[in-house]
Amino acid sequence: MRSRFYFFILLALCSFEKSSSQVIENAGDYMTELSSAQIEMDQKYMAYVSAAAHSRRARKIEKLRTQALESIAGAKSKTMGLPKYKGDNSLRQASVDYIQFCYRIFNDDYSKIVNMEEIAEQSVDQMQAYLLLQEKTSEKLEEASANLGKAEREFAAKNGVTLVDTKNELFDKMTSAGKVNKYCDNLYILFFKCNWEDGQLFKALNAHKINDVEQARNSLIHFAEEGLTALKSDSLKDFKGNSGLANGCRQALEFYLSMAKNSIPKLTDFYLKQENFDKIKKNLEAKGNNRTKQDVAEYNKAVKEMNASVGDFNQLNQDLNKRRQEVNQHWEDSEKGFKDDLMPYYK
């Protein structure tokens, strides 16, 4: 049994040696073999990048990232199984380096993106860090792909291979997706700053913290005016003639600006009136039987003003909530429509 076991090992080693030592005489064929080893990997990882670009919820497409990692590992195995080209290992090593780099990106960087997604909406700084990581990850992939392309051109020149300048669908789509994503992120952060500050403002309102309300209101005015100015720039007013997302962002910012300047002071005025009413009521109750006709008249006047203010306050709140929902829905529709039109799909 022992000799039989070693015999099988010897057969396996001989078989591996025969496979790995096979010679590919034509440099063009060799390049094709290396490229073919990455076909499934390219398809799987571009499918993930494409799906991620069409959704802001990376966790929903974790299955695609797992599939990409598996295909990248498979591509490395296939590439390592190919021989050197007449003793020259430069292109095979460049391919392996590229594949390993892609694995680190999908295993580490995209994992961080998924984890950061959970906390990104907790503050403007965290959202900016989240979007920056996405942008840098995309740039790393483009740079790695460009480096492999450089190694391929050098190998071809050294071995007399004429490269046909054919269109690379994967690289073109990845480059296009990167540009669309960067434009979307630049607009999204303008919207998010206002949307987030709006949330802080209404938390302060609900807590009746007037000083905090005023601070949030001023910040909201600043973010809205800053964003509207940015939207006038040539780089943001449209993308390749498509101004749909910019218009959606502009409408949202105009709403937030108008609300902060015109509506919020009316809401805070109501709370100030409420505070004043509570003081008058408390003072009247404290006087007991010693209250005067003037005290009663002042209280009745305050009650009348308060009742009128309650109706106006409730109506204004209702109008603002309705308009906010409309604006946010329009922004989401604009973002989806924009990406459906311009973001490449890859399946």
- pLDDT tens for residues 292-342? 888 888 888 888 888 888 888 889 999 999 999 999 999 999 998 998 888
Q: CB neighbours of 76 closer than 8 A, spacing ≥ 6?
A: 96, 99, 100, 103
List the one residue out of 116, 49, 57 whose CA is nearest residue 332.
57
- The residue ranges of the chain whose pLDDT is under 50 are 1-21
pLDDT of residue 294: 86
Length of the chain, please?
Answer: 347
Q: State the DSSP H helix or E strand holding residue 325, giving kind and residue range, or none if neither.
A: helix 293-342
pLDDT of residue 178: 80
Cβ–Cβ < 8 Å for 76, 50: no
DSSP label at residue 85: B
pLDDT of residue 51: 79
pLDDT of residue 157: 93
Cα separation, 157 vs 197, whole angstroms: 57
pLDDT of residue 234: 93
Q: Which two tokens stand for residue 76?
A: 């490395």
Q: State the DSSP H helix or E strand holding residue 125, giving kind and residue range, or none if neither.
A: helix 124-158
pLDDT of residue 228: 97
pLDDT of residue 7: 27
Cβ–Cβ < 8 Å for 147, 94: yes
What stretches of 21-117 show up as alpha helix (H) in DSSP? 27-36, 39-53, 62-80, 90-104, 110-117
Cα separation, 201 vs 267, whole angstroms: 11
Dump the DSSP string for 131-174.
HHHHHHHHHHHHHHHHHHHHHHHHHHHHTTPPPP----HHHHHH
pLDDT of residue 22: 58
The pTM (predicted TM-score) of the whole model is 0.78
